[in-house]
Every structure is written in structure tokens, then in C-alpha cells.
Amino acid sequence: MSAKSPTTSKAHKAKSVKKPVEKNEEKKPIQPKIAKVTVNIGVGEAGEKLKKAESVLQSVTKQKPVQTLSKTTNKDWGLREGMPIGCKVTLRKKAAEKFLADALKIRENKISEYSFDDQGNFSFGVPDHTLFEGQKYDPGIGIFGMDICVTVENPGYRIARRRVDRRKIPHRHQLTREATMRFLTEAFHVEVVE
């Protein structure tokens, strides 16, 4: 049997000493974060109009869009299942925050209270893509509006998506619409209107 040297055990003990927790030290409240921003343009048909919408979305978001497909067949609207009817882009991290700040400027930093759901996510629309900075009206393309859906999460939501040992988010850790409204007011100076 090999005996441990006295120097390594002392060094190990020195590393494992924990700092005592002070009773006066307050816990910081959990700060929500923007998980993703999904920008969607629905045109209702494939062809030239969809290609124009894709070019608009790429110029506004600086990312390549993907096509959204119809999930049902509706003869009255001329839709069949699997037919391309729109395009979308998903933004994350810094790009999502920058785009959201630009989109909120167009809305004069005001969001309606009914735009929030019970999980703290919210969505709003932009009626004209030329309202974004650097975008100009092109008669060959026209004007496209877009829907912006923002997913807001608390830190730790990864446990619901991970592959191993996936779990549900506990009720006490779930985000509420009031917490999201407070977060937007502090981080993006948004005014929530009724």
C-alpha cells in the first residue's frame, strides 16, 4: 500500500476550505434573459412573393431565412399540406437583443399588455419593413410586415431540453408575465400599455 505524502494532503485540505456564508448577504433575484427572437413573414403562397419576403427578411435580420410549410390542407385558400407559405428567422444571444431593441424603437418602446402569455413570452408586429434602419422602399419588392415572437427564460431552463435526465421546470422557477414586464421595463425601457 502506498501512503499519501503529508504535503499533498495539506495542499488538498487548503483548497477545499470554503468561505463562510454571511447571514447579512442577500440573494440576488433571478434575472430573466432573452432566449430567442423568431421573426416571421407569412405570404400564404409559394413563388415570387415568397422569394421577395425571404430577401426582405435576410436584409433586415442579416441571417438566411427558412421556409415555413403549411400543416393542413384548405381548398378554399388554395393550400395543401407541406406547401411553403412563409419564411422565418430565429435569432439568439446578442443578435436577438440588438434586433429586439431596434424593433421596439419602431413601436416607440410600447407593448400592449395582451401581447404577453402566461409563461412570460410575448409577441408583436411590425407593419412595414422599411421602418427598420437602413431599409429603403423598393417598388420591385413592395412592403412586407412581420411578426416578432420573443421567448424569455429564467436561467436553468436547459433542464427541460437536455438529452440526459430531462425534467420539467418546477412551478416556483417558472417565469410569469409580470416578471417579464418588469424585465423589459428595466432592460429595454419598455412601457406596457393596456
pLDDT in tens, 78-96: 778 888 888 999 999 899 9
What CATH code is carried by the domain that includes residue 89? 3.30.1440.10
* Chain segment 16-26, per-residue pLDDT in tens: 556 655 555 56
Indicate whether 36 pLDDT > 80.
yes
Give the number of domains in the chain.
1
Domain presence at residue 187: yes
Asked if 97 and 34 touch (Cβ cutoff 8 Å), the reply is: yes
What per-residue confidence (pLDDT) applies to 7? 54
Q: Give the domain extent around 62.
A: 29-193
Indicate the DSSP class of residue 47.
S
Indicate whether 152 pLDDT > 80.
yes
Domain presence at residue 179: yes
What per-residue confidence (pLDDT) applies to 16? 56
User: Using DSSP, how many helices (H) and how many strands (E) does the chain show?
Assistant: 4, 7
Asked if 61 and 80 touch (Cβ cutoff 8 Å), the reply is: no
Rounded Cα gap, residues 145 and 83, in angstroms: 21
In sequence order, the β-bridge partners of residue 151 are 36
What per-residue confidence (pLDDT) applies to 130? 80
pLDDT band at 39 (very low <50, low <70, confident <90, very high): very high
What are 1's three cell numbers?
500500500
Compute the average pLDDT of residues 92-104: 90
Domain presence at residue 1: no
pLDDT band at 38 (very low <50, low <70, confident <90, very high): very high
Domain presence at residue 138: yes
Pairing verdict, β 191-193 and 110-112:
parallel
Mean pLDDT of the chain: 82
How far CA 176 is from CA of 19, 167, 171, in Å, comes to 34, 19, 10
Rounded Cα gap, residues 89 and 100, in angstroms: 13
Indicate whether 62 pLDDT > 70.
yes
